[in-house]
A and B are shown apart, each in its own frame.
Chain A
Amino acid sequence: MKEIIRITFRLTLSCFLAALVMGMTFIFTDKAKKDNEHHNVQTTMLGLLGYSSQNPAPKELKLYSIYRYIIEEKGTTYLGYMVPVSNAGKESYEFLKLSLDGKLEQRLPLNISLEKAAEDAERQSVLKEALKTEKGFAYQDSTVVARMGNQRLAYLLPGKFGGFKTHIKVILSLNPQFDVLGLEIMEHEEDPGLGAEISQNYFKNQFRNRSFERLKGLDVVKEPLPDEYRRYLDAPDKFSGEQLDTILTQYRDKDIYALTGATISSRCVTDGVKNMAKRFAYRIKILDEAIASQKIPALI
């Protein structure tokens, strides 16, 4: 009997020590992890807009995030957008509650800065206070609107969809007419050498410069990638003038050339990107109408 007590005591003590070590490491590394992620996303987004360390973004370029929520209240579903607004010169957020057919039902000012709003926990507590409910709302996704001065420069859509293996996370950038500016693959778990090639330039750059109409009907073809197209895709910024025009006129309307041995991954990315763009175009129209109807001082 005494043995069992001693054993249990020692075991519990060791578990406690172990949990202590792990907890401390977690606290130390969590902040670094979040900073890393944030920095990575920022660099990717600026890269999609054409800026890099050699070509830094001008001061007039500002990135604003819109956060989308779904609200369930007494059996009815509403759409909720956290929109950045300028309130007497200060930048903060406002929560717009819309009915499913796009009518603006309610406006709730939120007391949260733009930096804090990037944290899920902060948004959660601010919304809990404003909506006076703890469980009635669920975060869906976010969109980044890039503004140069007073004009909308581009939309940056982080998105996640199912891939061949598990899921694929991407950032898609669209111009104000919803034509594709670029695509970056952020995360995936595809097979190395096969599906993992989706993050190579010669695949993801095929989505560049597609008009919205062409994107909606984009399909995947199992044909080998032509060499001159491949040269362009590997380094699109090195082409200009007449050369660029010839390539674009020839290939702009073609379907996506599938990756060798990874047709399913190619299809997943194409369909995922199509759906992201279609849904976003639908939603931003409704949101813009709602903002205009009440002349909300939105920063987007």
Chain B
Amino acid sequence: MAATKKTNSELLFNGILLENPIFRLALSMCPAVGLTTSIKNGLLLGTAVLFVQVFSSCTIAAIKNFIHPRIRIPTYTLTIATWVTVIDLVLAAYVPEAYKQVGLFVKLIVAFAIITMRLEMFACKNTVTSSFFDGVGMGIGFMVGMVTIGFVRELLGAGTLLGYDVLGFKPLLFFVLPAAGFFCVGIMMAMFNYIEVVFNRSKERKS
């Protein structure tokens, strides 16, 4: 399959909006639901995923000619697992406070579908530079998604933003629970769908 050539900035835009991993591709829902209890957690995990995505994409793009087609998947898994362990150790050593909250999930990045999917669909067919930008785009898209949900949940659930008391009271403690994570993601997806419908409708009206 020939890959369509996109410019680097187009790749970035793609990852953040058009093919946002959480809201459009519906991949890696676990952290979107579970760890968006505050913006800080979302940022931290987003950074970790960005790191793993970028490094794995670049590694796979760099060695794509040496990978035997039959052992594609194990190679992807191995690369991802290596980088996940690296960032796990680095986070534990340099940001221990925050690491305590997201510890188990950093180890689980290995099973995130988003990274394997991107490697399979993009990195093994493109150059290192494009893979880099695609990885960055996807990672930032993921982080944007996490922060958005985290913003809503933290504001409504704890009345704080990034730890700073904004409202002075807790409107609905329910939003901090995992059940609310499901609701938020579902409603946000519906919102994105609605935006797409409106967008298409206006495009139709113009043409």
Find out whether A and B make contact in their complex, taking CB atoms under 8 A apart as touching. yes
CB distance from B123 to the nearest CB of A (A): 15
Is there an interface contact between B78 and A15, defined as CB atoms closer than 8 Å? yes
Is there an interface contact between B176 and A192, defined as CB atoms closer than 8 Å? yes
CA distance A29 to B78 in the complex (A): 21
Which of B74, B79, B92 sits near A33, CB closer than 8 Å?
Answer: B92
Which of B74, B90, B93, B177 sits near A191, CB closer than 8 Å?
Answer: B177
With A193-B37, A193-B157, A193-B177 already in contact, the answer to whether A29 and B89 are too (CB < 8 A) is yes
Q: Is A242 an interface residue (CB 8 A)?
A: no
With A30-B93, A36-B96 already in contact, the answer to whether A193 and B74 are too (CB < 8 A) is no
The main secondary structure of chain A at its interface with chain B is helix
Is there an interface contact between B82 and A21, defined as CB atoms closer than 8 Å? yes
> Interface segment, B18-26, B64-72, B131-139, B191-199?
B64-72
CA distance A234 to B94 in the complex (A): 29
Q: Is A26 an interface residue (CB 8 A)?
A: yes
Q: Is B113 an interface residue (CB 8 A)?
A: no
Q: Which residues of A contact B38 (CB under 8 A)?
A: 192
Most buried by A among B68, B75, B82, B100: B82
Which of B71, B90, B93, B157 sits near A7, CB closer than 8 Å?
Answer: B71
CB closest residue in chain B, given A18: B82
Is there an interface contact between A10 and B71, defined as CB atoms closer than 8 Å? yes
Q: Is B17 an interface residue (CB 8 A)?
A: no
CB distance from B71 to the nearest CB of A (A): 5
With A10-B66, A21-B86, A22-B85 already in contact, the answer to whether A193 and B176 are too (CB < 8 A) is yes
CB distance from A3 to the nearest CB of B (A): 8
CA distance A22 to B78 in the complex (A): 11
CB closest residue in chain A, given B89: A29
Q: Which residues of B contact A261 (CB under 8 A)?
A: 173
CA distance A29 to B158 in the complex (A): 34
Q: Is A121 an interface residue (CB 8 A)?
A: no
Q: Which residues of A contact B79 (CB under 8 A)?
A: 18
Q: Which residues of A contact B85 (CB under 8 A)?
A: 22, 25
CA distance A261 to B173 in the complex (A): 10
Which of B67, B78, B96 sits near A37, CB closer than 8 Å?
Answer: B96
Is there an interface contact between B94 and A22, defined as CB atoms closer than 8 Å? no
Q: Is A11 an interface residue (CB 8 A)?
A: yes
CB distance from A133 to the nearest CB of B (A): 34
- Residues of B157-207 whose CB lies within 8 A of A: 157-158, 173, 176-177
Most buried by B among A15, A21, A22, A187: A22
With A18-B82, A193-B173 already in contact, the answer to whether A10 and B68 are too (CB < 8 A) is yes
- Residues of A16-41 whose CB lies within 8 A of B: 18, 21-22, 25-26, 29-30, 32-33, 36-37, 40
Q: Is B128 an interface residue (CB 8 A)?
A: no
Q: Which residues of B contact A113 (CB under 8 A)?
A: none
Q: Which residues of B contact A22 (CB under 8 A)?
A: 82, 85-86, 89
Extra 15 A-B pairs, beta carbons < 8 Å, given A29-B93, A194-B176? A3-B68, A10-B66, A11-B75, A14-B75, A15-B78, A18-B79, A25-B89, A25-B90, A26-B89, A33-B93, A192-B37, A193-B37, A193-B173, A194-B173, A194-B177
